[in-house]
Structure 1
Amino acid sequence: MAALKMMATPIKFGPVEIKNRFIVSPMVMNCCNEDGTATEKYIAYHEEKAKGGWGLIVTEDYAVDPSGRTYQYLPGLWADYQIASHKELTERVHAAGAKIYAQIFHGGRQTEEWIIGQQVWAPSAIPCPVKKALPHEMTTQEVEEMVEKFGDAALRAKKAGFDGVQIHGGHGYLVCEFASAYSNKRIDKYGGNLVNRMRFPVEIIQNIRKKCGEDFGIDYKISGEECAPGGTNIEDTKAMAIMLEEAGIHSLNVSVGVYETWYMQVPPSVMGHGWIADYAAEIKKVVEIPVTTVGRVNDPLVAEGIIRSGKADACYMGRASLADPHMPEKALNGRFEDIIQCMACLQGCTSKIDSGCHGPCTLNPRTVREDEVKITPAQVKKNIFVAGGGPSGAEAAIVLAKRGHKVTVFEKEDRLGGMYGTAAVPPWKGEISSFVVWQKTQLEKLGVEVRYQTELTKAIVEEEKPDTVVVATGSHPFVPPFPGKDQEFVVSAVDLLRGKIQADGNIAVIGGGLVGGETANFLATHGNQVTIIEMLAQIVGEEPDNMKRFLLQSFEDHHVDIHAGTAVQTINEDRTITVKAGEEEKVLGPFDKIVTAVGMRANLELKGTLEDSVKEVVYVGDALKPGNALNAIEEGYMAALDI
């Protein structure tokens, strides 16, 4: 497509020619065995992206030594026994048309002793401010031995069929720790001035080149700025880039941050698209090798703009590949409307990883389940009614239609999306709408009938006699029975966000969970004075940390008055609220409006009413149990596979 002439153009990283400029970022998915070998799940996950048209896939964090692992289930290339399983990975990725690099790394001080079974290693005995463990300061001999381990791991990568390696020299891991005066306080040949601090990465590059030859690609990931006290800035990184190019790397990927600034490495929806591209642009001024960017590039047209502007030569699009592993194929064929666009919600890809699970995607239930979840034609084609056009119901309808069933969706509102559509209203959440539009588009393309402003009833079921009914009626706001809740100045957050009412002036929001917090932010950023009253000890507890920091900062910037650990007793006629915090009772207000956002309850109107009128009734999403979008979409998808 002409609009993507740069993204469609091949590019060479030294000896490696890549068919287009769509690159998958390394992302931890917790899919390998504990001994570092590849599983079928791990292989199928990458193979799906190759089938989807990505030019280059850079795999996650291959540890060069067991002491370098930062998660239990990372891949490894520290021993020869690991080669065979990863060779199957590269063969299947190559057969599907993509090139593949192994990112090789050592976690340094940014890991934990319970993971590696020993004291963490670092250039200096200074703990990571996040992980806290006191490191073993590597001896000069140990540093030299680690150089060899990087080279040996790269050689194993070559034997396993990888087209190249990416040395992870950013994000505060071991190579980055040596290069930065922030973490390297040594006084031997690997510390002190920049030349000495860069000796470790330079020797790694030279060692890889010696062992792997000239026909093997070497990429390097670097933090353009560490954004930490005393850390490297862009001018330091320019000097480093010059040295790395002279040492023999073929390409350079520019990211930012260390663990202390983790939100920069995995930016939430608050942060702008392609926000790291300016750092890459600065590096491009001083080197001749290809320079790539990363960070909230979730749209191929945004990537095209970055490349055309000269800021980077290609774009890494990691989480975009989770939401839609077939993005390149769709984009290059002009099917932009079929792309599932990452919205940086962080509910699956990071929140689940940090709890030791695989890294699912809220919008794509097949992600990291490619080996087990497939849409296959139904053996018996059915006439199926879906009650509710929210994310769960619409997802179920899409999968059911793809399997060959005749599907009709009943939606009582005049649009799809349900509560999820409402969630797009607060600041930074607008990209939620793109998924609702995607679902609507797919339903139209699949020929699914959607009856808007029509609520499915038992009478309709008895008259039209479907084979199956999927109940996806969602949830509704719940307000506890405290006195005064029915007064005219007390309104629901849902009605407010849907534009049914307006609230101006001094506003109280009862409930500081996800809905209450986002509603309060919406009101505060629209010029209102806002007070949050939350019974629990903390607010927005279910918000992913990388997003929460921005929400709390917004509350501070807009002088939101927060009362956590505070229970509402009564809403009084004079528009005040009597509350109790511990043993203390006090009165807040008066307020112009009081907004309730305490919780949700399942819509149960159809619960148990259809079973005698239809052969099969399936409940999904909030109609089953109120939860988040990740659960709702997955339930709709999986239920549709079982019908």
Structure 2
Amino acid sequence: MSFSKSLSPIKIGPVELKNRYIVPAMGAHLAEPNGQVSQRTIDYYAARAKGGFGLIITEFTCIDPVGMAMPGQLGIWDDSFISGHKKLTEEVHKYGGIIFCQLHHAGRLSYSMVTGKQPVAPSPVASPSNKEIPRELTTEEVYQLIDKFVDAAVRAKNSGYDGVELHGAHQYIIAQFMSPYSNKRIDEFGGHFQNRMRFPVEIIKRIKDKCGKDFPVSIRISAEESEHDSWGVRQARTAAKMLEEAGADVINVSIGGAYGTSYKTLAPQAIPPGFNAANSAFIKDMVNVPVIVTGRIVDPYIAEDIIASGSADLVALGRTSLADPEFPIKVKENRVDEIIPCVACLQRCAGAGGRDEWDNGVSCTYNPFTGKEGILKFDTVDKPKRIAIIGAGPAGLETAWVAAKRGHSVTVFDKADRPGGQIVFGARPPYKQELLRTVQAYMTLGKKYGVDYKFGIEATLETVADFDEIVIATGGVPIRPAFEGIDDAEVVQAIDILAGRVLAGDKVIIIGGGQVGVETGEMLANQNRQVTIVEMRDEIAKEEHPDIRYLTQQRLTRYGVNIMTNTKVKALSKGSVMVERDGVEQTLQGFDTIILAVGSKSYNPLEEPLKKTGKKIHVIGDAAKTGNITDAVYQGAKLGVSI
């Protein structure tokens, strides 16, 4: 398939972009604690410039410390920030990149515990996120805030940025003025539509006056806020026309409020790819300037169709650019199968904590190099070694291609007949199938760099005797708890259900409401089986991102799945489970299948025998300590660059 539309140039104002792929503003959280640009900030954006993106837009950059959304947010509220931003723009320009600075003020979505001051807003309407009542800005203060946006734009221009973007989406302060949900004013900035639009209109006009007509201004707006239906796509469409008339050079169409509807702003796999394109098409029909669309655009085929169909002029590849900063170059060079995919897992990009002192700020489960571009490096080895990797799960596959790219001779052994380890089975439930794309990408990269894969071969001491170093990545096996009566209860493991080795009956009970148990339950409920999930904690799927958990719980409710939290299993018998809930014991019975999903334990039978050989041994992933895919891949990446 040709990607001619996506790879064609386009102008935003007088600035020409080499393609239609955009890195939109996303919270990278790599700045210094005082908001200054850090070297990690520079490395992060430079990697995406090298990767060939047509336009990069910085993470939300605060124009007033009172409007900070979180600690360490990138700032540009006074001239002390200019030198750091200059270093950033110079590095991006070195690689032929174009970069805009997104200007931001959180308004009522800031936190007094972050800023030390009461949040300010168009009206004293409490935020659902921080539950603080903001102080209403006076009319004079509104004009002063307009000037702060303009002054920040001037600093951005003096810092070498090619343009600026106003963050008018996700219920931050510009959106707060535009939306009747948060704007209850009766002065010239409130009431009817034109008054509510006055705030962004004045900012755009004054930036054009101060920075010149040839300095591009983008504005990001939400097609829908989904907050009490206060702001829908028709209002967004009308707003886009008004913003264009004010001088906006491009309209960036996002979706959702900042909180409460983040399952759209950060759409998980259950939300279809490109879901926001119908909204951008409706808005694009109203304006003459280019339109950017965001919304889970995860592969070049969806991107090409969006542009070719006229739904948008440019596509924002947010988390896609985290998963692979070389996305545009790989598309251009017809290396699509090498793209490390975004599978919308939300495990490491959406505020999840890091794994060690290096792993802070934004990153990606399947590309741990993101956010650590200057730390984890593919340095070529002086003396290549013969490396044996036992296990072709996520930890082993990541180690393999990274070490091979650096020059090592790598052989991977796995007793299974295919790669992927438990990812293969983890992709069986609904909305998990995209996980398989990561296995395909790792295999493609491994083969490119010369990895020798041997499937259907169980490694032994003799198998790996001639290798210099050995990596044990054999993963884990399911736990079989010592419940009373378990030996007579004919239980099965969830992994056997997912793998298709065991057929579940019509009425099933799953012991364990973590990620595996819940996903197994959803798969069975989707197959029209009656499902009960028993979980001893107070909530199911606690390890999942809240947005994924929210949508999953909605689906389970729709399927009629019986969820019993705060429930402890006491004993089993055939077809029955005795539980204790709130201090009361009861017997649940009549089940055709009892399924265990209570976690896993390390499986590494070769570790001790191999230690006795004197060879250098590395144990990673679940084979070392059970965790999740994020842990496994990160350990594989760190080992791959250091071995």
Task: Give the letter aligned to residue 428 of structure 2.
Answer: V
* 1:68 and 2:71 are equivalent in the alignment: no
Cα deviation code 1:498-535 (max 9, x no counterpart)? 11111130011110001111111111111111000111
Paired residues of 1:512 and 1:597 also in contact (CA < 8 A): yes
Deviations 1:60-111 (A, max 9, x none): 1111111111121121111011011101111111111110000101000112
Give me the whole-angstrom Cα distance separating, in 2, the residues matched to 1:299 and 1:614: 46
Q: Residue 443 of structure 1: CA displacement?
A: 2.1
Cα distance in 1, alignment partners of residues 176 and 26 from structure 2: 20
Q: 2:408 aligns with which of 402, 405, 409?
A: 405
Higher alpha-carbon deviation: 562-571 or 172-181: 562-571
1:304 corresponds in structure 2 to 304
Q: Report the CA distance between 1:160 and its aligned residue.
A: 0.4
- What is the 5 A alignment of 1:212-231? 212-231=211-230
| Equivalent position SS for 1:480 | coil
Q: Does 2:375 correspond to 1:372?
A: yes
List aligned pairs for 1:532-611, cutoff 5 A. Answer: 532-573=533-574, 575-611=575-611
Counterpart position of 1:323 = 323
Encode CA deviations 1:309-341: one digit per residue, 9 max, x unaligned.
111011000100000000000011111111011
Is this contact kept in 2: 1:465–1:614, CA < 8 A? no
Give, in whole Å, the separation in 1 of the partners of 2:560 and 2:188: 51
Distance in 1 of aligned mates of 2:67 and 2:202: 18
1:614 Cα deviation after fit: 4.0
Match in the other structure for 1:506 = 507
What is the CA-CA distance between 1:260 and the residue it aligns to?
2.4
Report the counterpart of residue 438 of structure 2 in structure 1.
435
C-alpha distance in structure 2 between counterparts of 1:185 and 1:399, whole Å? 55
TM-score normalized with structure 2 length:
0.98
Name 1:274's counterpart in structure 2: 274
The answer on whether the counterparts of 2:472 and 2:620 sit within 8 Å (CA) in structure 1 is: yes
- 1: CA distance between counterparts of 2:326 and 2:611? 39
Matches within 5 A, 1:63-212: 63-212=62-211
Partners of 2:400 and 2:360 in 1: CA distance = 28
Conserved? CA contact 1:352–1:360, under 8 Å: no
Instruction: Report the CA distance shift for 1:353/1:257 in structure 2 as closer, same or farther (over 3 A).
Output: farther
- Rounded to whole Å, the distance in 1 between the matches of 2:447 and 2:89 is 38
Asked if the contact 1:3/1:301 (under 8 Å) is kept, the reply is no
Output the CA distance in 1 between the equivalents of 2:485 and 2:279.
Answer: 55
Q: 446-455 or 548-557, which moves further after superposition?
A: 446-455
2:526 alignment counterpart: 525
Contact 1:30 / 1:353 at 8 angstroms: preserved in 2?
A: no
Tell me how far apart the structure 1 counterparts of residues 500 and 444 of structure 2 sit (CA, whole Å). 24
Q: Is the 8 A contact 1:531 1:561 kept in 2?
A: yes
For residues 9 and 448 of structure 2, what CA distance do their matches in structure 1 show?
32
Is contact 2:472–2:604 with CA below 8 Å preserved after alignment? Answer: no
Residue identity matched to 2:211: C
Question: Aligned with 1:425: secondary structure?
Answer: coil
| Percent of aligned pairs sharing the same letter | 41
Shift of 1:231: 1.2
TM-score, structure 1 as length reference: 0.98
Letter of the 2:317 partner, please give it: M
For residues 215 and 92 of structure 1, what CA distance do their matches in structure 2 show? 23
Q: Partner residue of 1:252? A: 251
Q: Is the 8 Å Cα contact of residues 10 and 20 (structure 1) preserved in structure 2? A: yes
Q: Distance in 1 between matches of 2:498 and 2:351?
A: 26
Cα distance change on mapping 1:139 and 1:353 into 2, 3 Å: farther
**Match of 1:236, SS?**
helix
Residue ranges of structure 2 left out of the alignment (5+ in a row): none
Is residue 384 from structure 1 mapped to residue 387 from structure 2 by the alignment?
yes
Task: List gaps (5 residues or longer) in structure 1.
Answer: none
Report which stretch shifted further, 552-561 or 26-35: 26-35
2:475 maps to amino acid: G
Greater mean deviation of Cα atoms: 155-164 or 439-448: 439-448
Q: For residues 78 and 111 of structure 1, what CA distance do their matches in structure 2 show? A: 16
Q: Deviations over 1:559-581 (max 9, x none)?
A: 101111111122213x1111111
Cα displacement (A) at 1:487: 4.3
Aligned-pair distance for 1:607?
2.5
Select 1:452's aligned residue among 452, 455, 469: 455
Equivalent position SS for 2:167 = strand
CA distance in 1, matches of 2:563, 2:49: 48
Question: Residue 638 of structure 2 aligns to which amino acid in structure 1?
Answer: M
Give 3-state SS (helix, strand or coil) of 1:459's partner: coil
| Secondary structure at 1:469 match in 2 | strand
Residue type at the aligned position of 2:285: K
Whole-angstrom CA distance in 2 between matches of 1:263 and 1:354 = 22
Work out whether residues 30 and 71 of structure 1, in 8 Å CA contact, stay in contact via their aligned partners in 2: no
Q: Take 2:353 and 2:613, find their aligned partners in 1: how far apart are those partners?
A: 43
Equivalences for residues 337-348 of structure 1 within 5 A: 337-348=337-348
Please state if 1:352 is matched with 2:352: yes
Deviation at 1:357, TM superposition (A): 3.9
Residue in structure 1 matching 2:422, options 413, 416, 419: 419
Aligned to 2:329, the other structure's residue is in SS state: helix
- Displacement of 1:351 in angstroms is 3.2
Distance 1:640 1:242 in 2: 51
| Deviation of the 1:494 alpha carbon | 0.5
Distance 2:107 2:89 in 1: 27
User: Shift of residue 184 of structure 1?
Assistant: 0.2
| Number of equivalences | 639
> CA separation in 1, counterparts of 2:260 and 2:586?
39
Corresponding residue SS for 1:260: coil
**Partners of 1:250 and 1:225 in 2: CA distance:** 21
Larger deviation: 256-265 or 519-528?
256-265
Tell me how far 1:261 sits from its aligned partner.
1.0
Deviations 1:174-194 (A, max 9, x none): 000001110000011111001
Whole-angstrom CA distance in 2 between matches of 1:166 and 1:56: 12
**Mapped contact 1:384–1:468 kept (Cα < 8 A):** yes
